Structure 1
Amino acid sequence: MLEVLSASSLLFGAGLLPLIFYKGKEHSAHPYFNYVLSFGLSILLGDVFLHLLPEAWLLEATTPDTALMDFVPRSNTTVLLGIVLFFTLDRLLGDVVGYLTVCSNTIDNFLHGLAIAVAFNVSQTTGWLTTAGILLHELPHEVTDYALLAKSGFSRRQVTLAQLWTCFSGILGSITGIIFDKSFCCQAVVLPLTSGIFLYVSLTSLIPSLLQATPKQSIVQTIVVICGLLLTYTVAH
């Protein structure tokens, strides 16, 4: 429980960092920003294929057949549901500023908090790697959200309140995961659902951004991705 609260507190802090450091300059203008995205991509993909999905498949294979199993979708189906869910949210809410942005981020952070709690219930390694993957995605994402809210007419005070609320929703998600930490249904759904979310983020947000790099940058990005995957593999074994 302490590890879950510590990890979700890091997620909470990530949402508040833009309030301290954002000075109006686009974060994407930083020369090393794409390398951070490359490392984030490797952590997300490594977490999916080396931790989350193997644990979900093992859980599915070793759980006795019960009436509950009839109501829980198979892991691969749930991965697709995660991709479709965030595609739908992205299409419905991603291009709308202001309060709809806050709504989207609230749902996003709640699921992240829930994913962290369930991942720690699997193992501390899976928990911290899941937390790292979420943080590496969330840090640039939160800066973008701050800029978007400010551009849509929110005052600094309104942006601060909105960020506090969306960050707190991550804590609520973690508490929900702690309460249902022994629930097979919770683990069997959230592990592959988180995999689908991570795959969607990787394929639609991170990889397209990295493909715009120069040949020299692409070489460095590839090295960073390989190093990140090797790190994830080493931790897994």
Structure 2
Amino acid sequence: MNLLFILPATLAAGIGSVWIAALLMRVGVRNGTGGLNAQHLLSLAAGALLATAFMHLLPEAFEGGIEPSRLFAALLFGVVFFFLLDKAELWHHGHEHHHGAVAAPASGHGHDHGHAHGHPHAHAHGPAASRTGGWTLLTGDSVHCFGDGILIASAFTADARLGVVAAVSVLAHEVPHHIGDLVVLRQTSASSRAAIVKVSLAGTMTALGGLIGWWLVEQLHGWLPYFLVLASSSFIYVALADLIPQLQKSLPARQTAAQIGWLAAGIAVVTLVSTLAHGGHDHDHGHGAAGARHDSGDTHHEGDGHDHDSGTGTATDARVPAPPSR
């Protein structure tokens, strides 16, 4: 049954984020001081990821009965692991543009790594860099989406509510990345539609990751708390090492307040989705508990009746006078 939810959720997160990114680009995501801009999207995604990790995935993992020290060790391992993937240019796929900037300093984009990561796809570094970077970008994006699918499957296996929250968080943090993907691929594709198709195909790897993740977690169900902790480490790393550093700029008070507001909005969205999804979940459990209490009560009363009858019978027998002896 979980698989029936995992596949639609992973497809929605992997491909839906591409379509939302394309729609936002068509509407116009502005980089100025007014309206919706990339900073707002990054703040929203960071809030959603942090809320999912700290308020949902980690609490669920720690309820599994595993020694906390082992789960914290798994969390540390996950953060270091995703850092190494980042360094290997497999987890985040914006690094090739930074290298292009170093190779072509005359273009005026020879910023440090933090700034290049802050605008992972915003700069063009010449036709050669675009041609070679397109396939590298799609490869990295596919690996990233595959990993997201495994994380979503792990969450769904623990609880359908967690799965929905994880899928929404993945979708939120993929939208800003896919906007950058489309900007780069438009330079190497015949049309904007072709660029959308390429990124969407990479997004389908989320469903493949979900399928494999479901099978893996089903086979290793006792390891589910560790899978949830690894999912949390991914969300925490992406939020703290990728998204939030892009927001660490000297901005006017109004723009800073907007960033904080969108960060809070991301947390609120995850909380709202969790509440809506948990409403039916609580209702089912509450109904079951009530039914259990009702059954227990019926049994208790039946037992009382039985005891009462037995007691009454014994008392009646005791009160019946013995016949007089002749």
Alignment-mate amino acid for residue 194 of structure 1 = A
> Offset at 1:187?
2.2
Distance 2:202 2:5 in 1: 21
Partner of 1:192: 229
Task: Describe the superposition over 1:132-176 as per-residue Cα deviations: whole angstroms up to 9, x where unpaired.
Answer: 11111001111111222334x344476455323311211101111
Indicate the percent of aligned positions where both proteins have the same amino acid.
Answer: 25
Distance 1:26 1:90 in 2: 27
Query: Which residue, out of 140, 147, 155, partners 1:119?
Result: 155
Task: Describe the superposition over 1:176-234 as per-residue Cα deviations: whole angstroms up to 9, x where unpaired.
Answer: 12323432265234211121111111112221222224211222332343354356457
> Offset at 1:43?
1.4
Structure 2 residues not aligned, in runs of 5+: 97-132, 279-326
Distance 1:165 1:98 in 2: 14
Partner of 1:133: 169
Question: Given that residues 75 and 233 in structure 2 are in contact (C-alpha distance below 8 angstroms), is that contact kept between their aligned partners in structure 1?
Answer: yes
Query: Which residue, out of 90, 115, 118, partners 2:86?
Result: 90
Alignment-mate amino acid for residue 220 of structure 1 = A
Distance 1:110 1:186 in 2: 20
Structure 1 residues 162 and 185, CA gap change in structure 2 (3 angstroms): farther
Task: Describe the superposition over 1:72-131 as per-residue Cα deviations: whole angstroms up to 9, x where unpaired.
Answer: x93223323332233223223242222222221111101111111111111122111111
Partner of 1:229: 267
TM-score by length of 1: 0.80
Partner of 1:68: none
Query: Which residue, out of 190, 208, 211, partners 2:245?
Result: 208
Distance 2:152 2:54 in 1: 17
Partner of 2:118: none
Query: Which residue, out of 32, 46, 50, partners 1:45?
Result: 50
Query: Which residue, out of 77, 82, 85, partners 1:81?
Result: 77
Q: RMSD of the TM alignment (CA)?
A: 3.0
TM-score by length of 2: 0.60
Partner of 1:10: 12
Distance 2:171 2:263 in 1: 16
Structure 1 residues 100 and 198, CA gap change in structure 2 (3 angstroms): same
Alignment-mate amino acid for residue 168 of structure 1 = T
Distance 1:185 1:211 in 2: 40
Alignment-mate amino acid for residue 88 of structure 1 = L
Structure 1 residues not aligned, in runs of 5+: 63-72
Bigger Rg, which one: 2
Question: Given that residues 46 and 239 in structure 2 are in contact (C-alpha distance below 8 angstroms), is that contact kept between their aligned partners in structure 1?
Answer: yes
